Structure 1
């Protein structure tokens, strides 16, 4: 942070300097005197006017008055302590100052180049920062400088930003290099807006995972070998990472093939059952696979049994108040739980805390929400709950099978809907006191089968390849029920490699 010229007279007065004859930053004074003047007469007044945090940039160095001390390390520590001394929850944003500097700032890697190679470097670079404890690590999303305008590249980088510790779109001062989604073509704009909205809707999950990082030492983004240290596959996929405890991300970092309209990403799914975050498409784990994604599609998977809290509004606003509406997605195939963490954003994070237990029993086909524990005053008195069971068949005799109990009393106004496209049953329960215990009984249901023929047809409809090839591929998928035999037949058709890969992925996702 460089002091503004308008603040120099105030600093000069604090240092006993006549600003008419001598500039305060050239005056010989102690480091402490300069810092005291900067904090007391420049930064703290701005904080009282509404500044939430400081970005400390370009102050690292190889030497200082103390041999071996990087001045940025000392400045990071001092800025954090000064902000804490004012009664605020301290946050600073700064460049990397060496191992150990994760204790003070939210960090960033410096200026990135606008290129596919730079994008491909970021996932591993971000995830491995966790190896030295630097969990809140970021990069200039979209690329900072140089390069050329590339709508697809900017979109893939924005999608990676959705699953980064810090989602910060940034660029050098160039009117042609801004990162606002509306500066790109219609398809890129839609995909980037969807990614940004998803990021905002994930705030309840993100905040809970942030508290987990603080209390348990699990960074938000981790390499796969943190959870699977003995699996060779975890080391073969360095660009794949865990995003909190429920989500696995295999980001797309290569361009789309214009004929097949998909980009290939090689991934590894650990043992268990996994679901595509966007579509609910089910994958069997315990294997490596190639995924193929169109521009609007993410490489993000959710483990079976996950309980994923999101903001309840389809198009949320920009506020970060604790929400009055929550969407709880429960993924079929295993039991799971999560304790939602919320606080009042006060200077001391653990003084006024509310925790809401969220439990999903696949064995019993039930979901338990609340009641809130701790300080209920930090959350709204009442909430609208939306519970989604993802990846399961519709409950038998749906309207009768699903029951909602609030403190043991059945709620007749609960609304049950079914979205077959993502194989999800939704249960809306409005206006519930946060002090109440909510039980959603989902009724008899099973893991839903993927609609392979429907998904293949939808994809082929968009692929930019020969009509006869589309027809032959579709006929094979519809006529041969065994996936292995269908793949053998598809391999004889001389399909475009991307088309064959995408169809193969859909055929063999759930074996």
Structure 2
């Protein structure tokens, strides 16, 4: 880790982290309140040059604090992340009062007090303090200035290792403190390989500090578990949660950032420092976890709805050698009866690391290969990285150089960095013309050898520069509009991701017409707004138990930060994995939002059938279970698409009133109805499990009622076949139980409804249906069904407000009901509309030999999955 900076190595962090300045104050005469806005000027008597414009805007359920110098100074403001509809959602202050020394504002249950001297903003929710801005007086705003003799060291030129940063604009950093009174847990600000509830980096009582959390997108080789060090992505979005309230803070800033966290029994205090940009801070007022997610989605956008196939199993490694290797792997999935949907090609498939090309010796007929894989209902993915080989005979380089599409160095020449192809240039994706040109490269006519079933993987887009400072791009490089790289570094990967997805969208419209084809583009680097583009993964992890464990908190943290479609390399990227770890990782990844096996070039082959017969059987079971759950998972992604809700989430998200859940990060919820407590220790023979809420909870395999102790705890014996997972009473989960080779092969399969009753004998759930691939859902071509079990009747109705314009002949062929209190000898089921009767019997929840007969099963009712109906269950004797 010596290649990377700490706070003490970054001049701006050294200057401002922990720095107190009580001189910033609001000019009372400048305060104006009109409609949704409060405007005023901020000054500092000790620094006469400071004259800042502060705007506080109301959006009904959240507020925005924006502070900047005069716009003519040209400080960078992050483009393209905020939703276009945001200004339309501004909401007038319900009451407002500007008085001597402060302004008082009210918004729903929130009371907001803006103190003038020194500047301080306090937000009370339901009468209790929840957020305080600058309560510890750590706000600093380094105004732009001219260089002069005697300026302090580090204001201008700065050196790290052998790299010199010219810093021509001088100091322009911003810092502030946010305090969360009454909160002991904060979450988010990914990406870090650490606990879900963020650990303190500052001991407030002892005035001692450790390394702060860093947000700076970097290519970190073999990152460590349990570290605050920044990794491949950055989202400056922090949650705070306590009994009765959940709030969030999002700073729209793409520059390098450090955040300190300090905790006492009474509060959590945080200190944020960024190298440049403006202060554009959104305070999300909740007060529930679901509402904070929804508010963040209003600001930066909800998650893109993925194609259905993208939720299946993906097989990847660096690298599948040639066409014969790909065909053999594809055939072996069928031979061993293991479903999968996508096979991936890493950098070695190209001609000398020239992206959009193929090695003609190894892949002489790539289109035919893709077509053959597609005949099995499967897709392929190729890697397309942002570094462009500096080769005058390479058409991509030729066109980009001619168009002046590359990032420039500080002297205005095309930047020359080192990456996989050797000497490379880097596309300037801040330039809209470059994004448009790049998108055009994915057309079938331009990308020779590609087909409509080929999708894309963006790696190394932090950007990774092997000979650059911290293995990335120099900060004084220049982008479109003369913007320094330091200002947009953390957004760089998102812009590249966006341009690639634009290309696949354009290709989809050209091939399929106006409804097109939803893009699938995986990215390693990410920023706020990446959720509107596509999935990410947690980067180059290691084949060990520590990385298995930390994957849970990493995936949940990224999901809380608004990016639910993410996962970790199954088995670990670096190193070799044994059968036990590989099995346990697949059993966990059954529930990952993104499920991909991947491995390093030097790692031993690890396809699912290479660990012995018993391991193969267990991994097959895990992957099949994933496919059974896909209707439920796809429905959860629809909720992410409409409301920003995370798919895999911490227990406290669904049980916010249970303090015992607040620090749990070795269990999680998949949607609202399924809890998983995966085995995370080698050689484990038991697993401690906590089940929140009043229950009931049911074993996901048997349907048996699970009875924890009064504290919600139980110890579960486990073998290598066991994956402790539990069904939450009161929910209905849609499934598809037939074993198929891929999602395409299951397209016409019927559905199963799994009904888990609560203590009142009731349950509810939903199922989202569309064509699984196009954008037709945006014009109402979908069905969203709501199921309810009440008074011994199961009914299906359209979600209120949904168009129900998606026609399908698919049916529900099986209904499983768990938790019936009446232990009758037999039951009957009757369609209340038609009077038709159906066979009812006792049976297992899972279709596996030896599983207890704990459920009531209605077989072959063949009810229309997208139609209205009601089914009455009654006791016959």
Task: Name the TM-score, length of structure 1 as normaliser.
Answer: 0.74
- CA 1:444–1:53 in 2, change beyond 3 Å: closer, same or farther? same
In the other structure, the counterpart of 2:608 is: 181
- CA 1:392–1:190 in 2, change beyond 3 Å: closer, same or farther? farther
- Which of 609, 616, 633 is the matching residue for 1:206? 633
Whether 1:76 and 2:485 are equivalent positions in the alignment is no
1:382 Cα shift?
Answer: 4.3
- CA 1:197–1:444 in 2, change beyond 3 Å: closer, same or farther? same
In the other structure, the counterpart of 2:579 is: 151
In the other structure, the counterpart of 2:661 is: 234
Contact 1:107–1:136 (Cα < 8 Å) also in 2: yes
Contact 1:145–1:172 (Cα < 8 Å) also in 2: yes
Deviations 1:254-300 (A, max 9, x none): 1224xxxx242343433221011112121246513333321111121
Whether 1:3 and 2:355 are equivalent positions in the alignment is yes
104-113 or 431-440: which moved more? 431-440
1:107 Cα shift?
Answer: 0.8
- Which of 603, 617, 622 is the matching residue for 1:195? 622
- CA 1:169–1:42 in 2, change beyond 3 Å: closer, same or farther? same
- CA 1:76–1:52 in 2, change beyond 3 Å: closer, same or farther? same
- Which of 286, 291, 295 is the matching residue for 2:720? 295
Higher-helix-fraction structure: 1
RMSD in angstroms over aligned alpha carbons? 3.3
Whether 1:318 and 2:742 are equivalent positions in the alignment is yes
Q: Which runs of 5+ in 1 are unaligned?
A: 18-22, 446-511
In the other structure, the counterpart of 1:171 is: 599
Whether 1:416 and 2:416 are equivalent positions in the alignment is no
What is the CA–CA distance in structure 2 between the aligned matches of 1:368 and 1:199, rounded to whole Å? 26
Contact 1:224–1:242 (Cα < 8 Å) also in 2: yes
- Which of 845, 851, 857 is the matching residue for 1:426? 857
Deviations 1:366-405 (A, max 9, x none): 212357996667453242421011233676352xx31221
Contact 2:460–2:525 (Cα < 8 Å) also in 1: no
In the other structure, the counterpart of 2:327 is: none
- CA 1:104–1:29 in 2, change beyond 3 Å: closer, same or farther? closer
Whether 1:139 and 2:568 are equivalent positions in the alignment is yes
- Which of 429, 445, 451 is the matching residue for 1:49? 451
Deviations 1:390-429 (A, max 9, x none): 233676352xx31221x622224x3323226140111113
What is the CA–CA distance in structure 2 between the aligned matches of 1:332 and 1:425, rounded to whole Å? 12
In the other structure, the counterpart of 1:283 is: 706
Whether 1:331 and 2:731 are equivalent positions in the alignment is no
Match of 2:596, SS state, is: coil
In the other structure, the counterpart of 1:357 is: 786
Match of 1:388, SS state, is: strand
Task: Name the TM-score, length of structure 2 as normaliser.
Answer: 0.45
In the other structure, the counterpart of 1:112 is: 541
Contact 1:89–1:347 (Cα < 8 Å) also in 2: yes
In the other structure, the counterpart of 2:180 is: none
Whether 1:245 and 2:685 are equivalent positions in the alignment is no
In the other structure, the counterpart of 2:203 is: none
Match of 1:301, SS state, is: strand
Contact 2:436–2:499 (Cα < 8 Å) also in 1: no
- CA 1:36–1:311 in 2, change beyond 3 Å: closer, same or farther? same
91-100 or 292-301: which moved more? 91-100
What is the CA–CA distance in structure 2 between the aligned matches of 1:339 and 1:214, rounded to whole Å? 15
Contact 1:368–1:437 (Cα < 8 Å) also in 2: yes
Contact 1:395–1:442 (Cα < 8 Å) also in 2: no
In the other structure, the counterpart of 2:181 is: none
In the other structure, the counterpart of 1:485 is: none
Mapping of residues 379-398 of structure 1, within 5 Å: 379-392=807-820, 396-398=824-826
426-435 or 53-62: which moved more? 426-435
- Which of 579, 586, 590 is the matching residue for 1:162? 590
What is the CA–CA distance in structure 1 between the aligned matches of 2:815 and 2:426, rounded to whole Å? 64
Match of 1:339, SS state, is: strand
Contact 1:89–1:348 (Cα < 8 Å) also in 2: no
Q: Which runs of 5+ in 2 are unaligned?
A: 1-346, 348-353, 360-392, 403-420, 464-471, 510-516, 845-851
1:360 Cα shift?
Answer: 1.5
1:100 Cα shift?
Answer: 4.4
Match of 1:270, SS state, is: coil
What is the CA–CA distance in structure 2 between the aligned matches of 1:342 and 1:294, rounded to whole Å? 37
What is the CA–CA distance in structure 1 between the aligned matches of 2:866 and 2:678, rounded to whole Å? 40
Whether 1:40 and 2:440 are equivalent positions in the alignment is yes
- CA 1:279–1:379 in 2, change beyond 3 Å: closer, same or farther? farther
Higher-strand-fraction structure: 2
In the other structure, the counterpart of 1:458 is: none
Match of 1:212, SS state, is: helix
- CA 1:316–1:41 in 2, change beyond 3 Å: closer, same or farther? closer
- CA 1:438–1:26 in 2, change beyond 3 Å: closer, same or farther? closer
Task: Give the structure with higher Rg (CA).
Answer: 2
1:143 Cα shift?
Answer: 1.0
What is the CA–CA distance in structure 1 between the aligned matches of 2:604 and 2:613, rounded to whole Å? 17
Contact 1:84–1:347 (Cα < 8 Å) also in 2: no
In the other structure, the counterpart of 2:872 is: 441
What is the CA–CA distance in structure 1 between the aligned matches of 2:811 and 2:526, rounded to whole Å? 43
What is the CA–CA distance in structure 2 between the aligned matches of 1:288 and 1:395, rounded to whole Å? 27
In the other structure, the counterpart of 1:505 is: none
- CA 1:39–1:103 in 2, change beyond 3 Å: closer, same or farther? closer
In the other structure, the counterpart of 1:271 is: 694
- CA 1:348–1:369 in 2, change beyond 3 Å: closer, same or farther? closer
What is the CA–CA distance in structure 2 between the aligned matches of 1:4 and 1:268, rounded to whole Å? 50
What is the CA–CA distance in structure 2 between the aligned matches of 1:170 and 1:396, rounded to whole Å? 50
What is the CA–CA distance in structure 2 between the aligned matches of 1:135 and 1:30, rounded to whole Å? 27
1:196 Cα shift?
Answer: 0.5
What is the CA–CA distance in structure 2 between the aligned matches of 1:153 and 1:273, rounded to whole Å? 32
1:92 Cα shift?
Answer: 1.7
